[in-house]
Homo-oligomer: A and B are copies of this chain.
Amino acid sequence: MNLQDVANKAGVGAATVSRVLNGHPGVKASTRAKVLRAVEDLKYKPNLHARSLAGGRSQVLGIVMANLYNPFFADIYHAIETHARQSGYETLLANSSHDMKWLKASVHRLLGQQVAGLGVFPEMEPAILDELRETRIPVVLFDAGAVGGNFTTIDFDYRKGARMLLDLIHALGHRRLAYIGAPLLLQPTETRRIEFLETTARYGSESLVVTPVDDGFAGGREAARELLRSGFQLRRFCA
Contacts and interface: CB of A to CB of B under 8 A. Distances in A.
A134 B43 contact: yes
A205 interface: no
A114 interface: yes
A206 B8 CA distance: 69
Interface in A34-70: 43, 45-53, 68-69
Contact of A49 (B52, B75, B238): B52
A50 B43 CA distance: 24
Interface residues of A, number: 37
A24 interface: no
Interface in A56-93: 68-69, 71, 74-75, 77-78, 81, 90, 92-93
A113 B50 CA distance: 10
A111 B45 CA distance: 7
Contacts of A51: 112
A17 to B, nearest CB: 15
A108 interface: yes
A49 B95 contact: no
Contacts of A52: 49
Contacts of A111: 45
B71 A77 contact: no
A71 B237 contact: no
B112 A48 contact: yes
B81 A109 contact: no
Interface of A: 43, 45-53, 68-69, 71, 74-75, 77-78, 81, 90, 92-93, 95, 108-109, 111-114, 131, 134, 217, 233-235, 237-239
8 contacts: A43-B134, A47-B114, A48-B109, A81-B95, A92-B92, A234-B237, A235-B238, A238-B238
